[in-house]
Amino acid sequence: MVRRFREKVKLSVGSDQISMELTIAAGLGSSALLLSNLASVLLASSRLRRRRVIAPPAGARPPVSIIVPSRGVEPFTEETLRRAFSLDWPRYELIFCVAHAEDPVVRLIDAAIALNPEVPARLMIGDDRISANPKLNNCVKGWQAARHDWVILADSNVLMPEDYIQQMMAAWRPDTGLVCSTPIGSRPDGFWAEVECAFLNTLQARWQYAGEALGLGFAQGKSMLWNKPMLDANGGIHALAAEIAEDAAATKLVNGLGLKVNLVASPF
């Protein structure tokens, strides 16, 4: 009886010790996660500014080409088109790219161009198969036709603020190879759209800005500002076909040149 009692005591002590070790490990893990999240919040906050306090780029404002690959009519196509023609920048051109002439978005783009003759704009139709990425294929003709040294590749569902170009140009520094904006989701329609916005606007945005603060910035394909001569000297837009996603290829290309991906201080 005494021996069995001692064995039970030993088992109980051993079980308590394991339980204590697991509790300590869980506590340390939770503390590490909490601290890492707090650090990421502080790092991300250091990169963000309210739009109204961001100074416009100093010096001359060079002309900019904005390439917008489009496909199909989206819920806010007419609004995003109006915004694209209402940017506060002295000289810019819009190049809309559509793969097929029968696409219903062609009619809306033609109408927007006709309503805004003061902004140089063109619609280009065709499909250059340089990769497995349909969006990149759609952009090729626009890149080749761009008249200016500064080029923005902008997705058709980007709701551009009036100071869109100013914010992109203001983020360019001497060691920059590419400027992007992390996408901020808005006007979700349905549960899964709410989930997507919740992810984009919190976890992803925070860690993307934290990464930039640590010199580990990565590209996001929604809005990408390129210096065209620089990219042309390193393979041109065809170099972005090295990965299935053009932003992944862009990140590797820029890092390979010893340059950085920078983010706008107030995302779109």
For residue 13, tell me if it sits in a domain. Answer: no
Distance CA 152, CA 139 (A): 11
Question: Residue 106 has what pLDDT?
Answer: 97
* pLDDT tens-digit map of 80-117: 999 999 999 999 999 999 999 999 999 999 999 999 99
- Per the domain annotation, does 52 fall within a domain? no
Residue 17 belongs to a domain: no
> Considering the chain, what is the average pLDDT of its residues?
87
Overall size of the chain counted in residues: 268
DSSP state of 159: -
Q: What is the DSSP string of 173-213?
A: -TTEEEEE-PPPP-S--SHHHHHHHHIIIIIIHHHHHHHHH
Q: What is the pLDDT of residues 167-183, one digit of tens each?
A: 999 999 999 999 999 88
Structural domain boundaries, residue 170: 61-263
Does residue 135 sit within a domain?
Answer: yes
SS (H, E, C) 104-154: CHHHHHHHHHHHCCCCCEEEEECCCCCCCCHHHHHHHHHHHHCCCCEEEEE
* pLDDT on residue 242: 93
- The answer to whether residue 134 is domain-embedded is yes
- 3-state SS assignment for residue 58: coil
* DSSP at 206: H
Q: Is 70 within the bounds of a domain?
A: yes
d(CA 87, CA 165): 7
Number of domains in the chain: 1
Comparison of pLDDT for 90 and 211, the residue scoring more: 90
From residue 168, alpha-carbon distances to 105, 125, 162 in Å are 26, 27, 12
CB 137 within 8 A of CB 244: no
Q: 17-21, 135-139, 203-207 — which one is most confidently predicted on average?
A: 135-139
What DSSP designation does 29 have? H
Sheet containing 176-180, strands listed edge to edge, beginning at the edge strand earlier in sequence: 121-125, 92-98, 64-70, 150-154, 223-227, 176-180, 260-263
Phi, psi of 176 (to 5 degrees): -90, 140
What is the pLDDT, as a whole number, of residue 64? Answer: 98
- As a whole number of angstroms, the distance between CA 208 and CA 223 comes to 14
Question: Any idea what the Cα angle at residue 42 is, between residues 39 and 46, rounded to 5°?
Answer: 140
- Pick the closest to residue 104 from 160, 146, 156, 158 (CA basis): 156
Q: Quick check: 265 pLDDT over 90?
A: no
Token readout for 160 is 């551009």
Evaluate whether residue 12 is within a structural domain. Answer: no
Write the pLDDT tens digit of every residue in 218-261: 888 899 999 999 999 999 999 999 999 999 999 999 999 999 99
- pLDDT number for residue 40: 60
Query: The dihedral of CA 85, 187, 47, 209: what is its sign?
Result: negative
Question: In this structure, is residue 189 part of a structural domain?
Answer: yes
Task: Taking residues 182-205, report their average pLDDT.
Answer: 90
Q: What is the pLDDT of residues 59-72, one digit of tens each?
A: 779 999 999 999 99
Q: For position 249, which CATH number holds?
A: 3.90.550.10
| Cα–Cα–Cα angle for 164, 165, 169, rounded to 5 degrees | 125
Q: Measured between alpha carbons, how far is 124 from 101 in angstroms, rounded to an integer? A: 9
CA-atom Rg of the chain in angstroms: 25
